[in-house]
A = this chain, B = another copy of it.
C-alpha cells in the first residue's frame, strides 16, 4: 500500500503566505488589513493583490487569542419555539450581525443542565457579552453568570435588584390601560387570567389590572381570577372554569396576561356557544402575530418586539465596546393597546 502523502491543507492561506507573496513582513499585512491608512499606497495595493490571490482570510481563533475577544454574544431565551421571542430575536440579530457579532442562542427550555452548560461556556470566556431574555441571571450548580466578568443586558423580562441595563416595556401601565379600556366600554365585572405567580411579568400585569380597577371603585373579586401559566392549554382550562360559573356570576369581560391563553380561552368558550365579544370581551397581551389571525382578531397590547431586541442589542454593544458605561439602567419602550374585534360594550 502506498504511503499516504502528507496532505497539504488546501484552504489554509496564512498571513505569512500573503507576506511572502507580497514581499513584505507579516506586520505590514496585518496593518494593511486593520489600519490601511498607515501603509503607503503602493504597498497597500501589493498586499491587497496578494490577499486576493491567496484567498486569505484571517484565522479568527488566532486573532481572538491575541486580542482577547470573541465577537460572539450569547442570548438566553426561555423557549425558542415561542413566537414572541422569535421576533425579539430578529431584532437582536439585525443589530448584532450588522455590527459583526455572531449570535449563540441558548434555548433554556426549562432545563437546568442546559443552563449550566451555557454558564460554563460564558465563564470560559467564549463570548463577549450576554443578553438575558429569560427573567433571571443564569446559574450553574457551582457558579453564576456574574462570576464571568462579561457585560450583561436584560430584555423583555425585568430582573429586579440588578445593576445592568434592562430594556422592557411598562407592563403595569399598559396592562392598566388595557383594563381601563374595558371599564370605559362599560364593563363592571372583569375577570383576570393569570400567568405563573412567580413570574415578574405576571406580577406586573396583575398589578396593572388591580390599579385600573382601583381607579374606578370596582373591587377585585377573587372569584374572577383564573390561574394559568402563559400556555394555550391553560387558556383552554380557564375557559372551562369560566363556563362552569353560574351565568349570573359570569364576567362580561376578561383580561388575559398573554395572548396565547386568551386565544385558548376564546376557542373553548366559542365551542360552548358563548360569543366573543358579544357575550364576553377579551383583551390579551403581547401582540403575537397570531393575535391578528385568530377569530375574532384579538384586542391586545402590542409589544415592540423587534425594537426591544434591537435596543437591547445596541446597549450591549455599547457596553462591550466602551468597556463600561451603562447608558441608562432601565429603558422602557412604548407598547400600544390595539383595538380589534374581541372587545365591545357589555350586553345591555
Interface residue ranges, A against B (CB under 8 Å): 10-11, 57-62, 64-65, 70, 72, 80-83, 86-87, 89-90, 93, 97, 102-105, 107, 109, 114, 117, 120-121, 123-126, 148-149, 232, 263-264, 267, 270, 289-290, 293-295
Contact = CB atoms under 8 A, between A and B. Distances in A.
B61 A289 contact: no
Contact of A80 (B61, B90, B102, B267): B90
A293 B72 CA distance: 37
A86 B89 CA distance: 11
A83 B83 contact: yes
A263 B297 CA distance: 13
Nearest to A105: B105
Nearest to A64: B61
A279 B10 CA distance: 63
A104 B10 CA distance: 25
Sorted from nearest, which 4 A-B pairs have the closest CB atoms? A61-B64, A57-B124, A61-B65, A81-B86
Nearest to A60: B126
A94 to B, nearest CB: 8
Nearest to A56: B124
Contacts of A11: 125, 148-149
A124 B55 CA distance: 10
- In the complex, the count of this chain's copies comes to 2
B232 A293 contact: yes
A159 B263 CA distance: 37
A293 B264 CA distance: 7
User: Which of A109, A120, A126: most chain B Cβ within 10 A?
Assistant: A126
Contacts of A59: 65, 124-125
Contacts of A62: 61, 65
Contact of A102 (B10, B87, B121, B289): B121
Given A60-B126, A232-B293, 18 more contacts: A11-B125, A11-B149, A57-B123, A57-B125, A60-B124, A61-B64, A72-B104, A81-B89, A81-B90, A82-B86, A90-B107, A97-B114, A102-B126, A103-B105, A232-B289, A267-B293, A293-B294, A294-B295
Contacts of A126: 60, 102
A58 to B, nearest CB: 7
A75 to B, nearest CB: 10
A200 B225 CA distance: 49
12 contacts: A57-B123, A58-B124, A59-B124, A61-B62, A61-B70, A62-B65, A80-B86, A81-B90, A102-B121, A103-B105, A264-B293, A295-B295
Contacts of A10: 149
Contacts of A109: 90
A109 to B, nearest CB: 7
A293 B260 CA distance: 10
Nearest to A12: B125
Given A102-B104, A126-B60, A148-B11, A80 B70 contact: no
A60 B202 CA distance: 39
Nearest to A124: B57
Contacts of A121: 102
Nearest to A10: B149
